[in-house]
Amino acid sequence: MNRYLTSRILIALAAVGSITQAQVPTKQPAKTAEASLTAEPDVSWRFQVAGLTKDNAPAVKTALTALSVSVYVCDACKVEQMKAGTCSKCSAQLTMAKKPIFSSVAPSPDDSSLALSLVQRRPTHLTEIETVLKKSSVTIDRAKMPLPGTLTFVASGGTPEKMSAVKTALAATAQFEDIQASLNPTNAEMHFTTKAKTSSSPTAALVAKAFESQQLQLADIWFGKTLEASASPY
């Protein structure tokens, strides 16, 4: 075989190889759950209070702004979660940090109201807010208090039958979605975790009636994701 023909064959083979390589689809990296995470917006709501004055309003704002919770964070990746562990993005060890519960606190003595913006991944509960306000002689009218975002209702004296009945009563209000109920057999404490529908404005009084139907008393209300263990961006 002459040198000229050999060169032509080699060139042809190289061209075929290039075409074949170009037609092989490039493998795209799989999208991870972490990449699809999006930070949930803060939950804002306003409710009426009694005893709020121009004199104690600054103290109320300072005390509520100071409320914090311990979380585990990776500042480099902006990941935060309630439990210790490693970062879901870079695998670094998470560090514990104190973070404020509320992103905004606005007491208004003129109309006796209090506006709060809650960071949903940092939970708080109604009795904690009431304790802070009580120090300034301010009280909440629970019956009129609106309930926004992710919520957990707590009551004692539960049984499987009562838990089922309360869950049915809460569902019947058509104010909540995805109601999850649990019963602690050790202390008979019941938890009902749910989310207020965006088109509704349920009140604590409405929830209390669901418990009263079973001779139970609503002990507390948690705001935010109390059992959130998965990483959340911020």
- Please give the Cα distance from 101 to 90 (Å, whole number): 26
- The per-residue pLDDT for 234 is 52
Query: Nearest 5°: CA angle at 141, between 178 and 177?
Result: 5
Which residues partner with 73 through β-bridges?
80, 95
Print pLDDT tens along the chain (234 aa): 555 555 554 455 555 454 444 444 444 433 333 333 446 788 899 999 999 999 999 999 999 999 999 999 999 998 888 889 999 899 999 999 999 999 999 999 999 999 999 988 888 999 999 999 999 999 998 888 899 889 999 999 999 999 999 999 999 999 999 999 999 999 999 999 999 998 778 998 899 999 999 999 999 999 987 644 344 555
Hey, where are the domains in the chain?
A: 2-123
What is the sign of the dihedral through the CA atoms of 57, 63, 69 and 75? positive
Q: Count helices and strands (H / E) in the chain.
A: 5, 13
pTM of the model: 0.76
